[in-house]
Chain A
Amino acid sequence: MPIKTLLKSLMRRKFITVLLICQLAMTMGILHNSSILTLDVYNLLNQKKGMDASEFLVIEQLSLAQHLRDGSSHAEFTEQQDIEAIRHIDGVISVAAYNQIPLTHGSPNANIQLEDTPPEKDSRDLNYISYVEMHANGLTNLGIELLEGRQFTDSDEVTSNSHMKHSNMTDSIIVTESLAKRLSPDISILGQLTNRGRVIGVSQDIMYTARSQGRTKYYAYFIVKPTTDRYERKFYIVRSKPALIPEIEKKLRADRFKDSPERIIVRIASLQDIHENFFSRETGSVKMFITLCVLMLLVAIISSFAHAHFHVSKQIRLIGIRRALGAKKSDILKYVFIENILVSAIALLPGILCSYLINIQLSQFLTISKPNFDDFFAIYTVIVLSGFIATWLPAYRTAQIPPITATKTL
């Protein structure tokens, strides 16, 4: 079919054609931007974490009773019992207690600086550094490797809150690689004194503040300190094989870890779930957009179907004439499909335009990446294909119009 002829036939139905093209363009725009959002959130969830979250189970507990959080030997004893109980469950590789867990919002935090550097305006990024108080095996339990210096030993344990006071020579800390580079970009930070203690090691990066921008999400320092004195909230992180985690969780719940007036088990959950849950707003938003996309595709399909259907029903006689004068069934199929493709092709440019406009509009409310052509063409293909499929039935029925129709007078 010559394109000119088709264009002419479309022009005759200007109103419907323009509506159809607008619909297609908007559908492309919305689907494209939804896919951008989805990819953004996918990337957010799959950014470099520095650890395999699926290997860990977290028990978050809240000590209500004073005697469980006063640093007394009773508190120590109870914690020891907890740890023993966890360690003896089948499949548990190791366990340690912490004041906070990685891969979420990062709390508690403090500022850190090298001892001889006074606070400056441009050191704001060092104001909220997650500090991880933990047992001496805390880093090995999380599978974090040391890049420089030495591991913690039990003798590194700090018994008071001394590291919260400025310039304490005796406390040992380990900092993450990114933080080390930020604090001492030119020379090795090993052995240098900070306001939180002396740096004895540099660990690989691990994400403690998942929402921060750029490298700051990997800023953290570690210190060995009892988890029984100051904090009400305490985390046991249990390491195991991912497949065994549900089973271990069940045992923990059945055994020691139940709510009581002395302590509350706030949650027992895999670190993976906690991490994903942390981004529930983002994923929720994506789910809403995906729901909308499904509906839009549905409407696009209905629209293609209806368009082809009614276009055809108005043209039964003309198609009969074509058939009588020698058009094959396949020629008629082509005739209907090519029109469908032509409309999609015309909608391409408005679609790109729409996509950009919607992107600009959405970026006022959400953080959303700029549109790119690869994704757009993928979405374009999906829409054209679904239009194609929807056109099939009407096109097939059109091809069945018998040539004898041409001889009938209406």
Chain B
Amino acid sequence: MSLLFYYLKLSLRSLKQTPLVSFLTIFIIGLGSSLVSVNLALLETMYSDPIPEKSENLFHISLNTWQDLTPHQEPFYILRYKDAMKILESDIPKYATIFYRSHVYVQAPKSQSDAMHSADVRAFSGDFFNLTQAPFQWGSGWELDDNQQALSHHEIVISHRLNQLLFDGENSLGKTLTIQNKSYSIVGVLKKWNIKPRFYHVTEGQTYFSTEDIFIPLETAIDNNWIVYARMSASDHWTNMDDTRSRNVFYLQSWVQLNNPQQRQDFQLFLDNYSQSLKDSNEHPLAINNELNDVKTWMQINNVVDKNIEAFSVVTLLFLIVCLFNASSLLLAKHSKAQFETGLRRALGVSRRQLYAENMIESVMIGFFSGLIALCFSVIFLYLIENFLPNIANIIEYELFKLGIAFFITLSCSLLIAIYPVYSTYRQSIALQIK
């Protein structure tokens, strides 16, 4: 133990002896590894499984039902109202849901000011809450009939954020909100709900949006003409959302939960049969080509991992290598400067192993200081990335445990780069060193 303290004392002294080299080494290792760590932390979030309990059992549906030979994509990931309804009819999936994204302005409750609050909306039919495991604080979703349609209208579920904003986080069950001059009563309030990535809607660059503030039955949203804030494709003319029920307007996305391969097979067959029946009645001329993609595949298809971050990671990795090369040659210079002393100590009987241990402790020390610097840099880089890439700002979190990666990487780096310089010093003969 006292030897350890002695080593610590020696390494501190050695750092102090060459303040410039030591500082530059520490600075450079910290700089390089913090950039890499920040990127790794972001990539880790992007690659992470948003719903590990059942990501293999949830499937996004793409259908090939465009009515002529000019579909934008085959199969198409957005569905017509009538196709989506067909999916809800099936009793094969454990849960099924269809939805679209909208956006509204909510009037604050009477007691407050005239301010309008911008709110993202998810309008859906079916078991959206069960399928996505949305956590409720108070209340629940609305009642469903046999076709999984909402029984009662003008009921909404709001997010934790909106509840905080409008009701100061109080239980707001039963209260009403005015949206576009109509009243909606709150039947459920969610807990904080952050899915990263937000797997159920990863198209149109909306992957890293937060979960919505208002959840409303699909039919209610359509009846009240809440328009679609996502991709919409139509070959028929339409004026109001109401028109989209009967016409060739594609805008709904659909997910189902299929718990085993049998169900999956059955449901694929169900979709293909449906598509075939449309083709038989000349409603579309395309091949029978319908897809079920599980969460991971669907996220992969839609490039959920931000390309900028991925590209940047490649470059920052090179940057780290450059930094480590640099630090390594700095250390080498430092060691060769101390060669005489090293030789002298070896001549006085300090063993090679002891010197290795001493140097490793010095490296750990450099690693420790670099780690501290890396932490500071990490916070700065996160802040910069948040500013530079607003589309992913939502996933950036200053989670210390993640930045712990930075510390770990830094430490390993500083041990790694010390190997050659230390080795090269001891390779030389004592006689040469003290000559």
Closest to B332 in A: A16
Contacts of A5-44 to chain B: CB distance below 8 A: 15-16, 19-20, 22-23, 26-27, 29-30, 33-34
- The answer to the question of B144 belonging to the interface, with a C-beta cut-off of 8 Å to chain A, is no
- The answer to the question of A73 belonging to the interface, with a C-beta cut-off of 8 Å to chain B, is no
Query: How far is the CB of B124 from the nearest CB of chain A, in Å?
Result: 21
- The answer to the question of B69 belonging to the interface, with a C-beta cut-off of 8 Å to chain A, is yes
The number of chain B residues touching the other chain, given as a range, is 35 or more
A296 to B312, CA, bound (A): 14
A302 to B35, CA, bound (A): 18
A108-149 CB mask vs B (1 if < 8 Å, else 0) is 000100000001110110010000000000000000000000
Contact B388 A295 (CB under 8 A): no
- The answer to the question of B253 belonging to the interface, with a C-beta cut-off of 8 Å to chain A, is no
Give the residues in chain A near B105, CB-CB below 8 Å.
62, 64, 264
Give the residues in chain B near A88, CB-CB below 8 Å.
none
Select which of B72, B322, B325, B328 is within 8 A of A296 by beta carbon: B322
Select which of B68, B107, B310, B330 is within 8 A of A306 by beta carbon: B330
Contact A20 B322 (CB under 8 A): no
B100-140 CB mask vs A (1 if < 8 Å, else 0) is 00000101000000111010000000000000000000000
- The answer to the question of A342 belonging to the interface, with a C-beta cut-off of 8 Å to chain B, is no
Closest to A24 in B: B322
- The answer to the question of B4 belonging to the interface, with a C-beta cut-off of 8 Å to chain A, is no
Give the residues in chain A near B35, CB-CB below 8 Å.
292, 295
- The answer to the question of B239 belonging to the interface, with a C-beta cut-off of 8 Å to chain A, is yes
Select which of A19, A111, A165, A289 is within 8 A of B328 by beta carbon: A19
A124 to B420, CA, bound (A): 61
Select which of B181, B235, B308 is within 8 A of A281 by beta carbon: B308
Give the residues in chain A near B328, CB-CB below 8 Å.
19
- The answer to the question of B218 belonging to the interface, with a C-beta cut-off of 8 Å to chain A, is no
- The answer to the question of B31 belonging to the interface, with a C-beta cut-off of 8 Å to chain A, is yes
Contact B326 A288 (CB under 8 A): no
A259 to B114, CA, bound (A): 9
Contact A66 B181 (CB under 8 A): yes
Given contacts A161-B237, A161-B239, contact A23 B326 (CB under 8 A): yes
Contact A362 B237 (CB under 8 A): no
A-B CB contacts (within 8 Å), total count: 149
A196 to B78, CA, bound (A): 25
Given contacts A284-B308, A306-B329, contact A121 B70 (CB under 8 A): yes
- Classify the interface of chain B: helix, strand, loop or mixed: helix
Contacts of B372-397 to chain A: CB distance below 8 A: 384-385, 387-391
Query: How far is the CB of A196 from the nearest CB of chain B, in Å?
Result: 11
Give the residues in chain B near A4, CB-CB below 8 Å.
none
- The answer to the question of A361 belonging to the interface, with a C-beta cut-off of 8 Å to chain B, is yes
Give the residues in chain A near B246, CB-CB below 8 Å.
none
Contact B389 A284 (CB under 8 A): yes
Contact B322 A299 (CB under 8 A): yes
Contacts of B19-60 to chain A: CB distance below 8 A: 21, 24, 27-28, 31-32, 35
Give the residues in chain B near A285, CB-CB below 8 Å.
308, 311-312, 388-389
Query: How far is the CB of B125 from the nearest CB of chain A, in Å?
Result: 23
A290-319 CB mask vs B (1 if < 8 Å, else 0) is 011001100100110011011001100000
Contact A164 B237 (CB under 8 A): yes
- The answer to the question of B90 belonging to the interface, with a C-beta cut-off of 8 Å to chain A, is no
- The answer to the question of B157 belonging to the interface, with a C-beta cut-off of 8 Å to chain A, is no
Closest to B388 in A: A284
A16 to B107, CA, bound (A): 67
Select which of A16, A30, A260, A264 is within 8 A of B319 by beta carbon: A30
Given contacts A285-B308, A306-B24, A365-B314, contact A299 B333 (CB under 8 A): no
A79 to B69, CA, bound (A): 42
Select which of B27, B114, B315, B424 is within 8 A of A292 by beta carbon: B315
A287 to B308, CA, bound (A): 11
- The answer to the question of B318 belonging to the interface, with a C-beta cut-off of 8 Å to chain A, is yes
B158-195 CB mask vs A (1 if < 8 Å, else 0) is 00000000000000000000101100000000000000
Give the residues in chain A near B385, CB-CB below 8 Å.
288
Contacts of B223-281 to chain A: CB distance below 8 A: 227, 235, 237, 239
B292-319 CB mask vs A (1 if < 8 Å, else 0) is 0000000000000001101110111011
Select which of B21, B307, B387 is within 8 A of A366 by beta carbon: B307
Contact B325 A281 (CB under 8 A): no
Given contacts A161-B239, A284-B389, A291-B384, contact A366 B311 (CB under 8 A): yes
Query: How far is the CB of A68 from the nearest CB of chain B, in Å?
Result: 11
Contact A15 B424 (CB under 8 A): yes
Contact A358 B318 (CB under 8 A): yes
Contact A261 B116 (CB under 8 A): yes
Given contacts A64-B105, A287-B388, contact A119 B69 (CB under 8 A): yes
Select which of A26, A127, A366 is within 8 A of B72 by beta carbon: A127
Query: How far is the CB of B267 from the nearest CB of chain A, in Å?
Result: 30
- The answer to the question of A404 belonging to the interface, with a C-beta cut-off of 8 Å to chain B, is no
- The answer to the question of A232 belonging to the interface, with a C-beta cut-off of 8 Å to chain B, is yes
Contact A296 B329 (CB under 8 A): no
Give the residues in chain B near A302, CB-CB below 8 Å.
24, 27-28, 326
Closest to A126 in B: B70
A33 to B390, CA, bound (A): 23
Closest to B231 in A: A107
Give the residues in chain B near A365, CB-CB below 8 Å.
307-308, 310-311, 314
Query: How far is the CB of A189 from the nearest CB of chain B, in Å?
Result: 22
Give the residues in chain A near B180, CB-CB below 8 Å.
64
Contact A264 B69 (CB under 8 A): no
Q: Which 10 A-B pairs have the closest CB atoms?
A: A310-B333, A365-B311, A284-B388, A164-B237, A19-B325, A285-B308, A365-B307, A284-B389, A287-B388, A16-B329
Could you name 22 residue pairs across A and B whose Cβ atoms are closer than 8 Å? A19-B326, A22-B321, A22-B322, A23-B326, A26-B318, A29-B318, A64-B180, A64-B181, A111-B235, A119-B70, A165-B237, A259-B116, A261-B178, A284-B388, A285-B308, A288-B308, A289-B312, A292-B35, A292-B312, A295-B35, A299-B32, A362-B314
- Which residues in B have some Cβ–Cβ distance to A below 8 Å? 21, 24, 27-28, 31-32, 35, 68-70, 72, 105, 107, 114-116, 118, 178, 180-181, 227, 235, 237, 239, 307-308, 310-312, 314-316, 318-319, 321-323, 325-326, 328-330, 332-333, 336-337, 384-385, 387-391, 420, 424
- Which residues in A have some Cβ–Cβ distance to B below 8 Å? 15-16, 19-20, 22-23, 26-27, 29-30, 33-34, 62, 64-66, 111, 119-121, 123-124, 127, 161, 164-165, 230, 232, 259-261, 264, 280-281, 284-285, 287-289, 291-292, 295-296, 299, 302-303, 306-307, 309-310, 313-314, 358, 361-362, 365-366
Known: A15-B420, A288-B385, A313-B333. 19 other contacts (CB 8 A): A15-B332, A16-B332, A16-B333, A19-B326, A22-B325, A111-B235, A124-B70, A164-B237, A259-B116, A280-B390, A284-B387, A292-B35, A295-B319, A299-B319, A299-B322, A303-B326, A306-B326, A361-B314, A365-B308
